[in-house]
Chains A and B, each alone.
Chain A
Amino acid sequence: MILPYLTHILILIGIYTILIVSLNLALGYSGLLNLGHVALWGIGAYTSALLTIHGVPFIFSFIIAGIVTALFGLLLVFATRRLKGDYFALASLGFSFVVYSLLLNLTELTRGPLGVAGIPKPSLFGLIIKNSNYYLIFVAIISFASIFLINKIVKSGFGKLLEAMRDDEIGLRVLGKDTTKLKYKVMLVSGFFTGISGSLFAHYIGFIDPNTFYISELILLITIVIIGGIASIKGSIIATFIILSLSELIRFLPVPSSIVGPIRQITYVIVLLLILMFKPRGLFGRVDLE
């Protein structure tokens, strides 16, 4: 009885880890709080789900989801390139709202509030990953690979440039580096991994609707990334583990199931407020939020 449940939590942790680390990549190295991340995740999930339902083999849907999300991420950063600080945050929040309402209203494409049901399990080289246990192994491999890659990027020369840009953008520009292009590159990478995380999510749960990618989910993401700390991959991973485990534990409280949702949200925001008040860098953060 415990076993399938543990599998379920681990799969979710795997999927969210990729998502949070990619958010942190963009946030930690551009210093901009992107509240549009949940919308990008939704775009990745919907892209993969809709493609697969229309017959595209999973491996292509998966990759295309990553690419499409990367492009939308790029679009977002490009459109908001002149905004700073809280204006950027609010514009990116606006982006999330716009995506939400488009998902809701473009019913021909997205089936609107009905959502996309019956998303098929991934099929790779003829093998259908139907069983949760196989799925866990699949997700574990992908998250491990993703984190490895992102870590490599962060450690590389490119990563150093990004840190320099975060710490002193004007100084870097003086040295002749095109910081805008750097931001775009970061967003592309971050967007790609967000997209594949969305794909993994959609194919695991089997059902997505616009409400899946809206405010409550955004609060969860922000809570995790801030608790983990900006610009710390280790922080993101550990925070994902902690918060998701906590979230699932709440389900076992002796309260009616209708209360679980609000209790979760309240827990997230209280933890978030406490962290902002007393430890705004989070557990492992190396940078403050600008």
Chain B
Amino acid sequence: MSLILQFALNGLIAGSIYALVASGFSLIYNTNKFMHFAHGISVVVSGYILFSLFSLINLNFYLSLFSAPIYASFIGFLIFRVIYLPLQKRKASNIILLIASISTLILFQNLILLFFGANVKDIGYLEIKQGIDFYGATITPMQIIIILTSLVFFIFLYIFMNKTKLGRNMRAVSNNKELASVIGINERRISDLSFFIGSFLGGVAGVLIALEQNITPNVGVFLIIKGFTGAVIGGISSVPASVLGSYILGLVENFGIAALPSGYKDAISFILLFLFLLLKPEGLVSLRRKK
């Protein structure tokens, strides 16, 4: 019993991180209608900024912690302006945007590799202690923080998207771009905003995983694949569905390796991704957009 509970907890923890990445990705996709694979950059940049500020320069921990995702959101915004926007002006197809996106991701990954080296970096803020016992399963305080933080952000996101004017404008652009601009919504600003918010969420995921485990140059590629998979499973055209799909992914991965050798964990998510794209690309929660 406690084994099942442990796997469930592990799944929730992983799912939380995936969901943060997926929500940002989905937000950007819905607003701009193309796949921002370079979203992984917000995760890895955020982690390394936390490392640089706190572990290298010894800046105050909380200052580093909060500024890292903010930097990440700026980088996301920059990528939009410097790479996507010029391409869009030249009427680039979605495929070209996708290739440009993947290229940018690889570019940043390798720049970080060059600059910081390939080794794993430890933030070194948390003390390693035995976790808290929870009905036979163990969970550390940091892991609890991960689950709670992501829930908090999702609640914020939900409130923003549904209760604020800006959020509603954003959804309007997602639903129907032409109509939204007819009403007077500034498309460009909404796109900018989507990149800021989305990348911020990715940045939060980056600091959380840096604190809980460590940071390597590959974490961006790794998490965007997981986040994307979660979004596809849930339904990429809806942010809440993407979040749900990511939690499902986390749970399936962790229960999956109960039966299979542990090395198959990533294989499970790849296979799920492939199968969903083939059989149910709209995801589990397919929403019908009514007028």
A85 touches B95 (CB 8 A): yes
- Measured in the bound complex, the distance between the Cα atoms of B261 and A216 in whole Å is 27
Closest 8 CB pairs between A and B? Answer: A101-B267, A94-B274, A97-B270, A91-B277, A269-B103, A262-B110, A86-B94, A94-B273
Q: Is A149 an interface residue (CB 8 A)?
A: no
Stretch in contact with the other chain, from A5-13, A161-169, A186-194, A270-278: A270-278
Binary CB contact string for chain B from 165 to 206 against chain A (1 if under 8 A, 0 otherwise): 000000000000000000000000000000000000000000
Q: Is A226 an interface residue (CB 8 A)?
A: yes
20 residue pairs A–B, Cβ–Cβ below 8 Å: A80-B277, A83-B278, A85-B93, A86-B95, A90-B98, A94-B277, A98-B271, A101-B267, A101-B271, A104-B263, A105-B261, A105-B267, A112-B263, A262-B110, A262-B114, A269-B107, A272-B103, A276-B100, A277-B100, A289-B99
Q: Is A174 an interface residue (CB 8 A)?
A: no
B104 touches A269 (CB 8 A): yes
B93 touches A219 (CB 8 A): no
Total residues of chain B contacting the partner, CB 8 A: 40
A102-B107 in contact given A85-B95, A276-B99, A277-B86 (Cβ < 8 Å) = no
Q: Is A263 an interface residue (CB 8 A)?
A: yes
A266-B95 in contact given A87-B277, A94-B273, A259-B114 (Cβ < 8 Å) = no
The prevalent SS among residues of A at the interface is helix
Which of chain A's residues 69-107 have a Cβ closer than 8 Å to chain B? Answer: 79-80, 83, 85-87, 89-91, 94-95, 97-98, 100-102, 104-105
A289 touches B103 (CB 8 A): no
- Residues of A within 8 Å of B261, CB to CB, are 105
Q: Is B35 an interface residue (CB 8 A)?
A: yes
Q: Is B225 an interface residue (CB 8 A)?
A: yes
- Residues of A within 8 Å of B35, CB to CB, are 86, 90
- Residues of A within 8 Å of B263, CB to CB, are 104-105, 112
Q: Which residues of B contact A (CB under 8 A)?
A: 34-35, 83, 86-87, 90, 92-100, 102-104, 106-107, 110-111, 113-114, 118, 221, 225, 228, 261, 263-264, 266-267, 270-271, 273-274, 277-278, 281
- Residues of B within 8 Å of A280, CB to CB, are 90, 92, 96
Q: Is A265 an interface residue (CB 8 A)?
A: yes
Of the candidates A83, A102, A263, A273, the one whose C-beta lies within 8 Å of that of B83 is A273
A265 touches B83 (CB 8 A): no
B87 touches A277 (CB 8 A): yes
Of the candidates A89, A91, A258, A273, the one whose C-beta lies within 8 Å of that of B274 is A91
- Residues of B within 8 Å of A94, CB to CB, are 270, 273-274, 277
A83-B281 in contact given A90-B35, A105-B263, A280-B96 (Cβ < 8 Å) = yes
Q: How far is the CB of B245 from chain A (nearest CB, A)?
A: 15
Of the candidates B94, B99, B102, B270, the one whose C-beta lies within 8 Å of that of A101 is B270
A289 touches B225 (CB 8 A): no
B110 touches A98 (CB 8 A): no
- Measured in the bound complex, the distance between the Cα atoms of B263 and A265 in whole Å is 27
A79 touches B278 (CB 8 A): yes
B264 touches A226 (CB 8 A): no
- Measured in the bound complex, the distance between the Cα atoms of B102 and A215 in whole Å is 10
Nearest A-chain residue to B277, judged by Cβ? A91
B93 touches A290 (CB 8 A): yes
A266-B107 in contact given A86-B35, A101-B267 (Cβ < 8 Å) = yes
Q: How far is the CB of A169 from chain B (nearest CB, A)?
A: 16
Q: How far is the CB of A288 from chain B (nearest CB, A)?
A: 7
A266 touches B83 (CB 8 A): no
Of the candidates B104, B106, B266, B278, the one whose C-beta lies within 8 Å of that of A80 is B278
Of the candidates A112, A265, A270, A290, the one whose C-beta lies within 8 Å of that of B95 is A290
- Residues of B within 8 Å of A262, CB to CB, are 110-111, 113-114
- Residues of A within 8 Å of B97, CB to CB, are 86
Nearest A-chain residue to B97, judged by Cβ? A86
Q: How far is the CB of B32 from chain A (nearest CB, A)?
A: 13
A98 touches B281 (CB 8 A): no
- Residues of A within 8 Å of B110, CB to CB, are 262-263, 265-266, 269
B267 touches A104 (CB 8 A): yes
B274 touches A97 (CB 8 A): yes
- Measured in the bound complex, the distance between the Cα atoms of B86 and A204 in whole Å is 43
- Measured in the bound complex, the distance between the Cα atoms of B111 and A97 in whole Å is 23
A273-B98 in contact given A91-B278, A98-B267, A289-B93 (Cβ < 8 Å) = no
Nearest B-chain residue to A278, judged by Cβ? B90
B98 touches A89 (CB 8 A): yes
